[in-house]
Structure 1
Amino acid sequence: MFLTPLVVDFVAEMLGYPFMQRAFVAGVCVAVIAPLVGSFLVHRQLAMIGDTLAHTAFAGVAVGLFLSATLGSPVSPALTALVVAVLAALLIQVLSEYTDVYNDVSMAIVLAGGFALGTVLISATSGGIAVSISQYLFGSLSTLTRGDVELLVGVSVLVVGTVLLLYRKLVFVTFDEAAAQIGGIDVRGVKRVLVVLTALVVVGAMQMMGVILVAAMLVVPVAAATQLARSFKESVLLAVVAAQVAVLAGTTLSYAYGLAAGGTIVLVAIAVYAAAASAKLVGAR
């Protein structure tokens, strides 16, 4: 009884700040699209592609900041990150399709190249853009602008709409690629759409989560859901629920204790995974 007014006052105070309102809207969006796309990646054993595209998004941010510094006119780092991440996603797929390079090798090549490009651009400006790029590396609640949130909402609508439209094809290709090919599905096209959607999720979430941690939201909630789900569709729904819990609890803890938002959210997600794994073990006995 005594805690209820305190909780209400705390929530009212927290949501009274516009930057926290933006943070929660952005968080809810991330917690929908990341596990939604991540569910297909995990079951296709492509969990590390999120990390790869996060590092190439870092290069894209560096490109934007570098162009702004050298041209003397503002260039959106989010836009350049999106372009570079999408191109990197398609490059990974093309390398896998047309060369003898396996998926994990192609991802390693693109990851290394993206991170190398970012560091070269930072050094080319004598470290002048290093301060600006740090917010993209580690994420920040306070730097989220209304434009960032509007972009993320737009990306979320596009990602959810595409997944709903191609859901059956995505599931078919994910679980039986050979049968999908025989059934007349454009397997290459579907796989390319999936990696592009992954790039969109990574870039959309990086302002809040940071490129270092954004890949975790593609994987950890899905891993938690697979501990308890009895079907793929149920796994997707539980993954979204797990991600929502992680984002809402992590964002609140971040505000309450002055902690890094991205790291706090990921740690809560891991705790949710540990709880789900423990529940599965207990249920198996």
Structure 2
Amino acid sequence: MRRGFERAVHALLGVIGVAVVAVFLPLAFGLLPERFFDAGCRTGRALGTELACYRFMWNTITVGVFIGIVGPVIGTFLVHREMALIGETLAHTAFAGVAFGTLLFAASGWDARLLLVALAAAIVGALGVQLLATRTGAYGDVPIAIMLTGSFALGTLFIDVGGGFAFVDINSYLFGNISVTDEQSVALMALLSLVVVGVVALAYNQLLFITFDEQAARVARVPVSAYNGLLIVLTALVVVGSMQILGVILVAAMLVVPVAAASLLASSFRETLYTSIVIGELAVLTGLALSWQFSLRPGGTIVIVAIAVYLGAVVRTEAHPTPTG
């Protein structure tokens, strides 16, 4: 049964990989011909849905597919390092960046991409967490809690200074909004995803080493602080891309919940990573379909689906306990 499960995960992972290379990467960079969308619309109507007939939904699905990959990829390392809240912290830092970018726009007319400002703020916040942990000797939840509360407080002050930003829907960044996923946002998410996956692939062994035995990594002269900083910066990239759909409040869920479910089903770190990607994609695509069908917020729907999968994994594990390693 175990080998059958692993084969199924690998097969689904292969399907996801083919779909990303053949459809979603070309779509993100505007390389798909118009006849592709026409064919997708006709297929959707044959299945009884208009979802595939709207270009903004293709943008949303594309961003969602990338979130379903990079969230679990980074989350697998964070969960095993007991740093699950770092995603929530950087999401609040990115929110402060959105508020600051909107304030600049209101004050100077600078038409900046808010996601790029959020990205810069999240990276600064990520490096700030690392600096606090290194300089103060505090580790884990102390610098994370300080950065989380401080950045959100700063964001609220920017909102007050800007008079509430009546012309910008801040709720879209708090709770997610599929209407903000325009072509530029999709291309940015695709680039962020390529960077995250590429860096993790290149630094996989070192990240794995510091995840399970940081002290031994130091003895082996691995630059632990540098790789810790790298992991946090990669987390910032994932958070900024994910907040388009999930919003600040829910963005940490895609870093944690699919990995938590996969940890109950898989028998190794690598299989946990693979399984979490499959679960992440299942949650994203099912959540988007349900949100469209019942006019629900996509972020909340995606997270509830992911939690449902996690609870199913809990029930399965209790019924068929399997040793992990």
TM-score (norm 1): 0.95
Q: Answer yes or no: is 1:245 the counterpart of 2:275.
A: no
Counterparts of 2:46 and 2:80, CA distance in 1:
43
Aligned to 1:153: 190
Counterparts of 1:102 and 1:228, CA distance in 2:
30
The question of whether the paired residues in 1 share the 8 Å contact of 2:44 and 2:52 is answered with no
Closer/same/farther in 2, CA of residues 165 and 75 from structure 1, 3 Å limit: same
Question: How much has 1:273 moved relative to structure 2?
Answer: 0.3
* Deviation by residue 1:249-277 (Cα, 9 ceiling, x = unmatched): 00000111110000000000000101111
Counterparts of 1:85 and 1:76, CA distance in 2:
14
Paired residue for 1:208, among 241, 245, 248? 245
Aligned to 2:302: 265
The question of whether the paired residues in 1 share the 8 Å contact of 2:102 and 2:165 is answered with no
Q: Answer yes or no: is 1:183 the counterpart of 2:220.
A: yes
Aligned to 1:282: 319
Counterparts of 2:253 and 2:167, CA distance in 1:
24
Question: How much has 1:129 moved relative to structure 2?
Answer: 4.7
Counterparts of 1:9 and 1:222, CA distance in 2:
35
Which SS does the other structure have where 1:209 is aligned?
coil
Aligned to 1:140: 177
Aligned to 1:66: 103
Aligned to 1:86: 123
The question of whether the paired residues in 2 share the 8 Å contact of 1:254 and 1:260 is answered with yes
Q: What does 1:92-241 correspond to in 2, within 5 Å?
A: 92-129=129-166, 131-241=168-278
Closer/same/farther in 2, CA of residues 8 and 58 from structure 1, 3 Å limit: same
The question of whether the paired residues in 2 share the 8 Å contact of 1:122 and 1:129 is answered with no
Which SS does the other structure have where 1:208 is aligned?
coil
> What is the letter of the counterpart of residue 165 of structure 1?
L
Counterparts of 2:292 and 2:174, CA distance in 1:
19
The question of whether the paired residues in 2 share the 8 Å contact of 1:34 and 1:218 is answered with yes
Q: Answer yes or no: is 1:34 the counterpart of 2:71.
A: yes
Q: Answer yes or no: is 1:18 the counterpart of 2:19.
A: no
Q: Which blocks of at least 5 consecutive residues in structure 1 are unaligned?
A: none
The question of whether the paired residues in 2 share the 8 Å contact of 1:122 and 1:130 is answered with no
Question: How much has 1:29 moved relative to structure 2?
Answer: 0.1
Counterparts of 1:81 and 1:280, CA distance in 2:
39
Question: How much has 1:142 moved relative to structure 2?
Answer: 2.1
Question: How much has 1:100 moved relative to structure 2?
Answer: 3.0
> What is the letter of the counterpart of residue 199 of structure 1?
A
Counterparts of 1:186 and 1:11, CA distance in 2:
55
Question: How much has 1:220 moved relative to structure 2?
Answer: 0.2
Give the root-mean-square deviation of aligned CA atoms. Answer: 1.7
Question: How much has 1:72 moved relative to structure 2?
Answer: 1.8
Question: How much has 1:16 moved relative to structure 2?
Answer: 1.2
> What is the letter of the counterpart of residue 120 of structure 1?
L
* Deviation by residue 1:83-129 (Cα, 9 ceiling, x = unmatched): 11001111101111111323211011111110111100111122125
The question of whether the paired residues in 2 share the 8 Å contact of 1:62 and 1:122 is answered with yes
Q: Which blocks of at least 5 consecutive residues in structure 2 are unaligned?
A: 1-41
The question of whether the paired residues in 1 share the 8 Å contact of 2:261 and 2:313 is answered with yes
Which SS does the other structure have where 1:184 is aligned?
coil
The question of whether the paired residues in 2 share the 8 Å contact of 1:38 and 1:218 is answered with yes
Question: How much has 1:73 moved relative to structure 2?
Answer: 2.4
Counterparts of 1:168 and 1:159, CA distance in 2:
15
Counterparts of 1:9 and 1:61, CA distance in 2:
40
Question: How much has 1:12 moved relative to structure 2?
Answer: 5.6
> What is the letter of the counterpart of residue 186 of structure 1?
P
Question: How much has 1:212 moved relative to structure 2?
Answer: 0.8
Closer/same/farther in 2, CA of residues 124 and 150 from structure 1, 3 Å limit: same
Closer/same/farther in 2, CA of residues 203 and 11 from structure 1, 3 Å limit: farther
157-166 vs 179-188, greater mean Cα deviation: 179-188
Count of aligned residue pairs for this structure pair: 281
Identity, % of aligned positions: 47
